[in-house]
Structure 1
């Protein structure tokens, strides 16, 4: 049986801090403190449900933390799955509350893998995050079923060796890559186009991952770059 954590005693200073200011930076500081306390609760096998609720309230409006974009080779499967979910959610949803909810679970699973192993758990909003080997997003959409991945909007992200964009267009089929509007192209041309729109800084964050076209993480990075470039450009003026 889990020991009850004295939530009010531990969190009261955090609540006071949150109520004294509504700025993004203050919420970000409070968010980090709540996450530190919640990690301790998980490590000590304490009931962290109330802390999870507070994390949802404060971290939804806080500045996003530095997330893990590619787990280490020794990472647990939960860490790997939540990392993929975070990146797919960010592709389709930007910096939404949904992304914050998924990312908070990822940070805990990857940072405290020894204490994290769970067969099922829920998000603070009550939606099922994991049940057995099935993963879901906070909006109830299935994220992973078997080896197939989906976006939060229900569109298929990866099926076998095929990748798709959030709008349903095929990104990669076999060795053929496509622009987000469905036009076929080469890997090199797609990368060049994306970087020409995103600029050096926007492109550099994923270039190290884009090593070849037959690796899961490099393909995911290519989809990210292409979709980010597409959303930055107006569909009305998109010409390819």
Structure 2
């Protein structure tokens, strides 16, 4: 019997999930950044700024930004002098990022279509590995974490920005109502795609809670792991070192 994995609240075959997630992001690519602003009230920009401050990209460092899609994280790190490779499994998302880079006159980024579970890069290649709002869409999170560890140099650092479950009383109930009821409706109005945004809301609820995900990062071989909750854990920055 084939292995079953979650696609939002549904259980699907492993082979099916990658295709379904790919379809979601192909559908939302053109409106992805507009939707991020609409759904977070622009706060995603502040979260990403905070995330990059934690990464502390240095001039000349070689960094892999996985699930980098439209380039939001890469643009911030490139501005600090880092040599960034932007990777994503979805070509439509990469195409949006490439177009945005051209509009900004940024030509130093490398764009590479990659599956986070099986990277084609050599071991010990990168000084840092970043992934923002992408790892919850991976079919096998443990394999993606193992690959992140493999491609990092000794002393390299892993940083992940991802939605989680807020622990703030009252806010948790409001956030659940918003994500399940309103987020798909906003997706329908702005992107004419209610189903994709319903999946994105459901994928947040299915993602491991902060302590569990930190344990997965440690199990992949990372040391000095840390979790920094934002909005009581609605969003969290996870980090670890390859030492």
Note whether the superposition's TM-score is higher than 0.5.
no
TM-score (normalised: structure 2): 0.23
Greater length-normalized contact order (CA 8 Å, ≥ 6 residues apart) = 2
Give the structure with the larger strand fraction.
2
